[in-house]
Amino acid sequence: MNQEKFQATIGYQFKRVKLLEQALTHRSFSRNINNERLEFLGDSVLNLVISRHIYQREPDANEGELSRMRASLVNEEALAQVARDINLGEYINLGGGELKSGGSRRASILSDTMEAIFGAIYLDSGFTQAQQTILFLYNEYIQTLADTETLKDPKTRLQEFLQAQKIDLPEYTVAKTVGKSHNQTFTVTCRIDTLKLQTSGKGSSRKKAEQAAADRAFQKLKR
C-alpha cells in the first residue's frame, strides 16, 4: 500500500500511521485489528460535520429538509462515490475471498472504510481536522446539492402524490431474490390497486428495490 500517495490524495498526513492502517483493514483481512470500531466513530463524526455545515448554509431549511439534505450526503452510495473519487478500493486490505468477489468495488465496503478513515483522522488530530478533510472530499457534492423537493426519496414522493389525490397508498411485495447473502439482488413490485397500476424495481437491498419500483410508478403517474 502506497501510504504517502493516499495521504496526499486526501490532503492529510497521519501522525500515527497505525490508525490509517487500521482504517484501511477490513474484517476479512484481520479479525483482531480491523476498521469496524473506527467506522462506528467515523459515522458519528461525518454526521456531525455534514449536519453542522448544512445547518449553517441553509438558514431557512426546516428539520425535515435538513434531514433529507444530510441523508443524501451520508448514505452508503454517497460515501461510496466519495471513496471511488479517491480510488479508495486500491488501498483497502481485504481477505482472499473478498478480493476474489470484488470487495474492493463493493459500495458497502467502500462506504464503511471511508467512515473508518474519518474516525481515524478524528482520533489522530481532532474534530477540526476531520471536518476539514470531510468538507474537502465532499466539496463537489455539497456545491451541487439538489433542492429539498428533488431530494425526497421516490417512496415519499409517490406517497405524498397519492395522498394529495386521496388515493390508497401502494403495496410493496418482494417478487424475487437472487444471489448469495453478501451479494443479493431483489426484485420488488409496487402495486396501486385503485389505479390498476403495477411497477417493478431491482436493487441490492429490498429498500433500494422498493425505491426503484416507486420511482417508476411516480414517473408513470406524472405523465
Residue positions annotated with a catalytic role: 43, 115
Work out the number of other CB atoms within 10 angstroms of the CB of residue 186: 21
CB 127 within 8 A of CB 45: yes
**CA-based end-to-end distance of the chain:** 52
Work out the number of other CB atoms within 10 angstroms of the CB of residue 33: 13
Cα dihedral 198, 178, 36, 33 in deg (nearest 10): -170
Q: How many residues does the chain have?
A: 223
Instruction: Specify the amino acid at residue 175.
Output: A
Buried b (16+ CB within 10 A) or exposed e, 119-153: bbbbbbbeeeebbebbeebbeeebeebeebeebbb
